[in-house]
Structure 1
Amino acid sequence: MTEQTMKIDPVRLAEAVAFAADKHSDQTRKRAEGDSRPRIPYISHLMAVSGMVIEDGGDTDEAIAGLLHDYIEDVDENGADALEQRFGARVRDIVIGCSGAKKEEIPDFRTRKQTYLDHLTATRDPATVRVSLADKVHNARSTVSDLETDGPSIWDRFNAGVEDQLWWYISLSAAYTDHANDGRADAQRAAELRRLVDRMTEISRQ
């Protein structure tokens, strides 16, 4: 019996990498104010998410959506049609499903994030859950790494305070665990997020 391998279209994926690198070229990952270390280009996060999606069994559309999951939220809020024209309706739909409301639309942090949680809980699309989970795991990995290096002061670079951020991650982890129990999320990836959130909470509340 031969093992099955998910086939990824290299031409389409390369086009999406170039598109994402161009559209996010002026963006970097968050650093604390006064941190003198070089800023990390944002494309590193997008490529990490896409790679995780592939590891978890995602197809080409899902891998592309991983690269573009922040496009509508951070680059062009009216860009859904452009995504459809270039990468197809399924990629567009996954990206829309992974996009949250802007701070300008819902200023209060918990109210804004609750709208995302409500949508995440309601979705029945495994592709959207897979991309969203990969995004949150990579963010959590980066946050835990920074916490272990610099301590709880890293929360100063975020708009919301530590308790709001922990509430957000704990709530996300619970939602993905429910999806994993129902077969819509990779169980090992959901468990990884739980471990990261536990570690995040432990360091932050020391």
Structure 2
Amino acid sequence: MTQATVLTDRFDRALLYATHVHGGQVRKGTGTLYVAHLLAVAATVLEYGGGEDLAIAGLLHDSAEDQGGKARLDDVRNRFGPRVARIVEACSDSLADTAAGERKAGWEERKRKYIAHLEKAGEDVLRVSLADKVHNARAILRDLRKSEIGAEIWKRFGQPKERTLWYYESLAEVFKRRLPGQLAEELAEIVAVLKAE
């Protein structure tokens, strides 16, 4: 039996910080508070053997990409250390400084670069990224099966269904190779169901 991870006040501070940073943000096309996704990612990381730093990175994985770019990443580094900041940065497909007028690259370019990046990423990054992608895929499937949403779910994304599924299928292939196990298999299974529905 493996020893349980002990969460300290750093995790408490990270949860408070994530709640503050993401404020009233909701998941795309829903009324679900974004912090629910962050908690699910952190929980999945812990359930699959990640320690406190990885759980904190799970809570903060979208903080720089969605809420402040490089300045936010520097703040994460100052508050939670270089390992957490490195994982957060590596889980972001774009850190454009929108406050300075920088624009993100196009969707396909960002996604192809991210997939290539995962081919070389370390295990810490793979664990947090996989937890994120599994929760996202679960949410898509859940909403696809809701009668009031159904196929309308695909309109939430900036790309057609086929492109979104290409991205998730590509991710699943990378994770099955680079971080094989139950969670990577789950992502592949969800993608197969999404393609079939």
Instruction: Note the C-alpha offset of 1:102.
Output: 6.1
1:70 equivalenced with 2:69 (yes/no): no
Asked if 1:134 is matched to 2:134, the reply is no
Matched residue type, 1:117 = I
Please list the CA deviations of residues 103-127 of structure 1 after superposition, one character each: whole Å capped at 9, or x if unmatched.
83212x222200111111121x111
| Cross-structure match for 1:4 | 2
The runs of 5 or more residues in structure 1 that have no matched partner are 33-38, 182-186
Task: Give yes or no for contact 2:165–2:195 (8 Å, CA) kept in 1.
Answer: yes
The CA distance in 1 between the partners of 2:160 and 2:127, in whole Å, is 27
How far 1:82 moved relative to its partner? 1.0
- Please give the residue correspondences for 1:133-152 in structure 2 after superposition, counting only pairs within 5 Å: 133-149=130-146, 150-152=149-151
Q: Specify the code of the residue in structure 2 equivalent to 1:43.
A: V
Structure 1 Cα separation of the partners of residues 61 and 152 of structure 2: 28
Structure 2: state its 5+ residue gaps: 97-102
Equivalent position SS for 2:88? helix
Q: Distance in 2 between matches of 1:6 and 1:63?
A: 13
Instruction: Check the 8 A contact 2:93/2:111 in 1, yes or no.
Output: yes
TM-score (norm 1): 0.87
Q: Secondary structure at the match of 1:122?
A: coil
Aligned mates of 1:174, 1:97 — CA distance in 2: 18
Q: Percent identity?
A: 38
Residue by residue, what CA displacement relative to the aligned partner does 1:9-47 show, whole Å, maximum 9, x if unpaired?
Answer: 231111110000011013101127xxxxxx111000000
CA distance in 1, matches of 2:94, 2:111: 8
The code of the aligned residue for 2:89 comes to I
Aligned counterparts of 1:105 and 1:75: Cα–Cα separation in 2: 13
1:29 corresponds to which of 27, 30, 34: 27
Question: d(CA) in 2 for partners of 1:146 and 1:7?
Answer: 32
TM-score, reference length from structure 2: 0.91
Measure, in 1, the Cα distance between the counterparts of 2:5 and 2:105.
Answer: 40
Query: CA offsets, 1:73-122, max 9 Å, x none?
Result: 00110222211110011000010110112683212x22220011111112
Whole-Å Cα distance in 2 between the matches of residues 93 and 139 of structure 1?
22
Secondary structure at the aligned position of 1:6 is classed as coil
Whole-angstrom distance in 2 between the partners of 1:86 and 1:8: 19
- Aligned equivalents of 2:90, 2:50: Cα separation in 1: 16
Aligned to 1:119: 117
- Equivalent of 2:48, from 49, 56, 64? 56
Name the structure 2 match of 1:153.
Answer: 152
Is 1:41 matched up with 2:38?
Answer: no
Query: More displaced, 23-32 or 52-61?
Result: 23-32
Matched, 1:85 2:78: yes
